[in-house]
Chains A and B, each alone.
Chain A
Amino acid sequence: MKHEKIETNSGLLIVLTLIVISIGGLVEIVPLYLIDSTVETVKVEGKDTIRPYTPLELAGRDIYLREGCYTCHSQMIRPFRDEALRYGHYSLAAESQYDHPFQWGSKRTGPDLARVGGKYSNQWHVQHLIAPRSVVPESIMPNYPWLMDTLLRYKDMPARMRALKKVGVPYSETEEEYQANVERFGEEVAGWLDIRRAEQNLLKQAVAGNYDGDNSDVTEMDALVAYLQVLGTMVDFSKFDEGYFASFR
């Protein structure tokens, strides 16, 4: 084909450009959907141990996105010795399979948060989020005092869960889907994933966890701390052989 033909026909030029640049994308992305070992199987006693977020954790994750925490924090521990020594076991693909969008990131102004769950107490998180420099004097993390005073909006949790369900996250809305979740995750987890009980579940977890130390109301702080405390805690690595996860690569 002559240069001139392409260069004088912008419609054709656009189409051909799209074809050329999509080859790179297709070659890199499509196989990951096909190759069986992309997402690891992580089962203990026949049940999936990695589950979608509960309504409260999900609300917390939405606040994490809204506040732009990801601009300074990654959630992806790479398989290098120095990272393992500091943060813990490297991240599995399976651990972010229900994250839409995933929070891997690459900018680490602050530390990686992929395994921050259980590292600190709720009380520490609350204080650190309100005033980071009161516990880490050299911190450059911003203050987020409003999280403590802002009531959590949770009436639309069912809608947010339904949206994620559309892209493949196994929240349940019918009895059949619920039973499938019981089969897959066990009864307790299946209960948390039921959209019909979203509001009730959210309040139950907020009261039982008392994440912000004040049980008179459910604030955005409750949700965000619940989210931080679950990060990286779903897989008990002591139950797997060291080589098991390498066999998926």
Chain B
Amino acid sequence: MSDLVNSGNANAPLLEVRGLKKYFPVRKGLFSRVVGQVKAVDGLDFTLGRGETMSLVGESGCGKTTAGRTLLRLLAPTAGQVLYSPNPEAAPTDIFKLPAAEMRALRPDLQIIFQDPYASLNPRMTVGNAIAEPLLVHKVVSASEVEDRVAGLLERVGLRPDVANRFPHEFSGGQRQRVGIARALALGPKLIICDEAVSALDVSIQAQVINLLKDLQDEFGISYIFIAHDLSVVRYISDSVAVMYLGRIVESGTAQQIFDDPQHPYTRALLSAIPHADPSKRGERIPMTGEIPSPIHPPSGCHFHTRCALAEDRCRSEWPASVALGAGHQAACHLVQSAGTEEA
């Protein structure tokens, strides 16, 4: 029944991701024989509303970046559907089924910005040319208009238009991230994946860039998938949050549900590890020993059982299905009660 495809519904989400999987082969030996696979992303389901921000959180290696790149087809997917509805009146398109030419036509809609904008900027190209390039490649503006458009974009992200003639190394980290945003913005995207986009910035500069991202969202209705390890930033910026552990979503919900009423033991431990900028709130952590296990040999049953203080026998043998907890809130844990079945 959940196979019903939305059509002609103004409330339809911009993106609906179903069963997203990305496995990488594990090779060994002289002839690089494939000896197994890493299930980096192992069945993600989530939706992203128009003009909303959804965050993917979890420890490094849990599959956040792979998920982001796979759903934009920057990596070949192993399985799943990504239903994209730029126009709420029309039926959605499955991005994974598009032929290459149509996918190319869709590229301007779907942008990504990275932690280190330096790595994604050509050091020998002025930032003006870097921003102009996608405009010219996709023939959005004519060569005579391009200069004005670049100047407008630079101003929009808070840089002086005359910096167009400068090279990336002449900019600070925060300025380079602004250039990266201007370039992502050039083609009028509907979705931007921000992969640790503000993580490397100092707090005072980070605040400037976060404000900029929010302003652009208000102005252009852009949706964001925000990948970040700083949970205080995530709480501030997100409408909804999905918590990942070893390639799977263990809990998802609105930012308020996740931060104020976390249900999965992993979410609770993760949140309790965040230090607070308040010396009177020291300590009170939920202990979580050990580190995230290797995704090549994930633990049986619930992947989290090796670090979970509450694990029972069942957790070691059976993968817990996702349980609905309330509007849009779900968690995959044997010990979580679904809404309505809670004992009085």
Please say whether chains A and B are actual partners in one complex: no
